[in-house]
Structure 1
């Protein structure tokens, strides 16, 4: 990062066509990590894995928490895909989270130089948190609010989440970029991770066909190393273990050129998730603080 905050966003972000293959980690913030913890982890993402971005997952309602995220990301040299978390209780707490995020984005001078996108929910269509037209209105209003900051607005969602809403084309038209969830372990055709490329391609092609050429990131993207409550397969052949978690990311690396060739600037993917302490079964780091398997994903090809 420069020694002083720039005065303009002109020529600040790299072209989308350079953001393909591995771009960073999903990172859960429900523990409301301290600035020191955030900076340590973000710096590790940048220096150890050449990660460009952190995709926020979950929520922390501590006052000024997103300012802590911005300041840690600035010092670490990473960007952020911010998130407005709806949760699963059907309450209206998301409105306060939206307002707090927008306040931080407008008042923190570094925020627009760190925030690559704002996600209006994680699987909001699949969870039916709002009627489709209401969600579209929220996206459009957010785009207007953030227009001077030039921050794209999207939702983070499964292809199935769109499909079960009849395609939700109103949402696809409203969002600026596509943050797609890629979780082939849950497919009814799943077996082992090394055989899951057709499942990945099936969902990816759906976004290509219906996404109007928009940039695609795979945000919630991975294969579990174990099953647990809420992480159960829909195929009796689906295998969850560390070897398959590792094999899934190896598969993505093998198809780097395929991701690079996708219209809209290629496909950048996140690993879900940074630590086992955040979401058991998905962490790249185990609860002991060590990597569960060697992880050096490709960032270009």
Structure 2
């Protein structure tokens, strides 16, 4: 069976699939700056960015998301299919527009961003129907593979997922969509059922304190009830922790050419490494290498 014919996923990516509209300029920017640069529109969203990296490493993700039946949605669905995503489980809405994300990046990193994921939030648990109606599982025979989940879902739906029998056997991997949505992941501290991928700011928001290192943030999240965590701190360090291990590692030094999608690339590469049998230290190293290649522009 060719990749184009494949319809059985080896991982589910649940969350935002939308259009990324990114403006990039090579020089440092401040609020109010008006500079020349490049503007691109590409498929994006946390779930989509993770899925794209998974495909690059040979996995076959299925998307569970909401996409509008508008022109933007038809284009986006076609683009996802061309990239090898399994799209037959996507919830297609007659009345909700396709979501989008807009960001401005300068030589000094991300300047500002706005995420419009209101349609995904409005669709709610409709996007999870394939997990209960027999297409991917049922409450009696739940899906037992890897699930990459993002924090663009509402807090009530994320809370529902932590207790739902539909996810009782799943290997849950969860990331916030942004620091502003980090606190939506609090139910996963109480449930202790997932691997969390957060940056240092997000770890601080979840623990309601500031941390000086990724390692400190990871230790605090485990103390708060998390099962497994990975905490990144840009180019400084990244840490892994569970109830037995805790360690950190420095990422490779690279020239940063882009920011948006780096955390999603890190998460996807870590999932691929562990799915391939890598131990925790090797999996962290592989994720850091992949993220470094992404932000340097080495990966198209």
Please, what TM-score do these two structures have when normalized by structure 2? 0.38
The structure, 1 or 2, with the larger RCO (C-alpha pairs under 8 Å, 6+ apart) is 1
Please, what TM-score do these two structures have when normalized by structure 1? 0.38
